[in-house]
Homo-oligomer: A and B are copies of this chain.
Amino acid sequence: MVQVRAGQTEAADGPVEAGRQIRLNAFEMNAVGHIAHGLWRHPRDRATSYTDIGWWQDLARILERGLFDGLFLADVSGIYDVYKGGPETAIAHAMQVPVNDPAMLVPAMAAVTRHLGFGITANLSQEPPYLFARRMSTLDHLTRGRIAWNIVTGFLDSAARGAGQGAQMDHDARYDRADEYMDLVYKLWEASWDDDAVVSDRAAGIYARPDRVRAIHHHGRFFDLDAIHLSEPSPQRTPVLFQAGASARGLAFAATHAECIFIPTTGRGSAAALTARIRAGVAAAGRRPRDVKILASLMTVIGRTAVEAREKFEDYGRYAAAEAGLAQLAAATGIDFARFAPDEPIVVAGEAGNGIRSLVAQLGAGDDGPPTVNRLLAGMTLGGRFKPVVGTSEQVADEIAAWIAEADIDGFNLIRTVTPDCFTDVADLLVPVLQERGLYKHGYGDGTLRDRLFGQGPRPAPGHPAAALRQPETPSSPAAEDRP
């Protein structure tokens, strides 16, 4: 058991003793198109195999070979229908539609791996908490403690209509409901079964001790429940919690609940400011700032030489669908860019106007004039608004090291381009360089995903709201020594 002092960087995994260990997730989706739109058309791309179990098992083996911490699966339960006022562009380009349930991939991948974590996205505005809590417990059992939940509270109006809700709830009310939802599922995960409830005593004929199992009684503004949790305690109980809130209220939610926080990749300077704000928010929520891992999204195109990397990037670019990237941007901003002529300045009032101006600046296309559709399209590198880092492993490692040093982040979600090559390149080319530099583990540590990420045992750290719901320990509790 590694004892962690406040303010010290942990190294739960492997022999990395000094410096910060970089965390890598593969960022994927149970869909043909995720972020780099159009690349499914590349001859080497296997994204259209997304309905094939064997494909996902192959991918999981590649990631485990590369000692990735996890596979992070995005999800969306609506369709991008802002651009041109309809879903046609999304359907034609397979822009996150069709999109299948991410949770169903986990058991098949867990069967062929031992250490890889699995982060699945689920929208708590749409999942009834009682059965959802059981589903996550089931996955935590089947993976032996390798499950994480990326908490989403809602995004698309089309998703709300699918759920029969007419339109999205007011943004802040949605987070109030989300807070109550979390409180409820924490109770189910942490407080319904004691650690020593299951005795599995064949001689006595007792599987679980009734006096160590209790119903949760929750009567709140949004939820009423009187029930025991249906699952016995799983290795982590509460899954590792991911979040990517960008609004003030979203960041407050993340500071309270999240253990891994995803930040938008703008520049290293703005990321540093955001990271500092997040760590301060985490501290204000009564948690240790380093009990949260902060990850940025990163797209890489890696070659054995700089020339090879550049050629690969250009090759990928021939398949990219810039218009699809624009359509996704339209959904994200709520602006139907098709209403503007190609070179007409895009002028939008209010909040959305600020958003579009900063996005255009980020895309690097508005430096010499107002944003226009043509400038946005030109900024859609590889079919989306992420700028890939293109180069050799050494060059990419330099960029990563600079991010870590300047922005105080802990790692990256690596965005799929042409799959699985984009992940194979990281596993086989980049990881050895990061290892040489002492920035990356040489093997997986023991225990659950949470053990490996934080080195503080399988359950949420002190100060986390889930930790406060634990039952008082009994002397026989086998997990007692895992707690500070």
Contacts and interface: CB of A to CB of B under 8 A. Distances in A.
Interface of A: 30, 32-33, 38, 40-41, 43, 48, 51-54, 57, 77-79, 86-88, 91-94, 97-101, 103-108, 110-112, 126-128, 130-131, 134-135, 137-139, 141-142, 158, 161-164, 166, 198, 200, 202-203, 205-210, 213, 215, 223-228, 230-232, 234, 321
B92 A230 contact: no
16 contacts: A51-B141, A79-B228, A86-B210, A87-B213, A92-B208, A94-B208, A98-B232, A101-B131, A104-B104, A104-B107, A105-B107, A108-B111, A126-B131, A127-B128, A162-B225, A164-B225
A164 B223 CA distance: 7
B53 A107 contact: yes
A227 B78 contact: yes
Given A92-B210, A126-B131, A228 B87 contact: yes
A366 to B, nearest CB: 27
Given A53-B107, A111-B57, A111-B108, A207 B33 contact: yes
Given A98-B208, A321-B205, A142 B230 contact: no
B137 A100 contact: yes
Nearest to A229: B98
B207 A93 contact: yes
Nearest to A161: B226
Nearest to A233: B98
A138 B104 contact: yes
Contact of A230 (B100, B105, B166, B230): B100
Contacts of A228: 79, 87, 97
Contact of A164 (B78, B91, B130, B200): B130
A198 B48 CA distance: 11
B207 A94 contact: yes
A101 B99 CA distance: 22
A110 B111 contact: no
Contacts of A207: 32-33, 40, 48, 91-94
**Residue of A158, A162, A227, A234 contacting most chain B CB atoms (<10 Å):** A162
Contacts of A135: 101, 103-104
Contacts of A104: 103-104, 106-107, 135, 138-139, 142
Contact of A227 (B103, B161, B206, B215): B161
A88 B88 CA distance: 56
Contacts of A205: 38, 41, 92-93, 321
Nearest to A140: B51
B87 A130 contact: no
Contacts of A203: 41
A374 to B, nearest CB: 20
A363 to B, nearest CB: 22
Nearest to A137: B100
A455 B177 CA distance: 49
Contacts of A131: 77, 101, 126-127, 163
A320 to B, nearest CB: 10
A137 B161 CA distance: 20
Contacts of A108: 107-108, 110-111, 142
Contacts of A111: 53-54, 57, 108, 111-112
Nearest to A94: B207
Contacts of A223: 164
**Max chain B Cβ within 10 angstroms of own Cβ: one of A88, A161, A230:** A230
A51 B126 CA distance: 26
A224 B166 contact: yes
Closest 5 CB pairs of A and B: A94-B207, A162-B227, A51-B141, A88-B210, A107-B108
A48 B200 contact: yes
The CB with the most chain B CB atoms within 10 A, among A106, A223, A232, is that of A232
B224 A130 contact: no
B231 A98 contact: yes
A127 B126 CA distance: 10
Contacts of A53: 107, 110-111, 142
